[in-house]
Structure 1
């Protein structure tokens, strides 16, 4: 699969490294071409480098791995290059005090989809710190990490599910892109618990067998 990485930060590094090792054709794109080349060299496995448009035009699947504040604008700038391509948004609109910045409007993923309306947008990979994505694989207590995927496009869901399995994780179809707001709010809550309270967010949810009460 041809994968374009839009961004050169920690999430780009962690996810692209797994996908390059899995044999995908990865191109890292950045505003700073020298930084993109350094990341590509570190990833290895014939990973290419270029500017953001080069990475987008290369992609069957593009990973949008830039700060929330830049994501929609970048998607809009590249809207023609992203048309018809799967675009995975892993951004988190979380501000100071772990505040959800999109609480009174469209989710970050919906803003990206509005900016690039012909892209097949998937919300994914936003619930975990980049160090989790560096694990090989992310398995906890013998159970692979499940990754919720929100999208309106079955073909994009299939591609994102494939890439999720390449991380050693279990893809979890989590409904339409409208549910991205729930994922982003969950990330804000988890960060509040993990960082603000040093609490175990995983302990919030009961096992599936108890989720709906007695049978």
Structure 2
């Protein structure tokens, strides 16, 4: 489905890509003025757990699981002592539940051992945690700590490629290119807007 953003003139030079990026953002913001993460959380720990669970799942599904999960494991200390079978049962519906359960317990243990149970507000410390890559770390930076972070998930990657903002299948390379096109204070918001557009309009082509 075409949108106003897709009908803008395709960029040809670096400067035109930057101008086009701002034009596309302005158009998309009209459709998604309140774009933000759809994960429900109350603190950095909850957002970290929810984001790990969202891999290969949906935010809606994760939001159905986390209330009971956080009731039983309200912080990193309790999660680090979780019974694996009980934890797997709680998160089973999010998919890949065995791998996610191991990652969550290992992540919680590292938080307790190295960060006094608190989620660290830096990219290097976050990506040193088990189960945490750059996308998850950027989600935490942008939404939990109000720091510049540009999460690149499959939606951001797809939309930014189709708009011509990037030409890569690598999330890391896409992040590097996209952060050159927008001001730091915009990064998380731009990511949220692209995610919403990818979910609702710019969907994967049928295989």
Which TM-score band (shorter chain)?
A: under 0.3
Bigger helix share:
2
What is the TM-score when the length of structure 2 is the normalising length? 0.26
What is the TM-score when the length of structure 1 is the normalising length? 0.25
Which of 1 and 2 has higher RCO (CA within 8 Å, sep 6+)?
2
Which structure is larger by alpha-carbon Rg, 1 or 2?
2
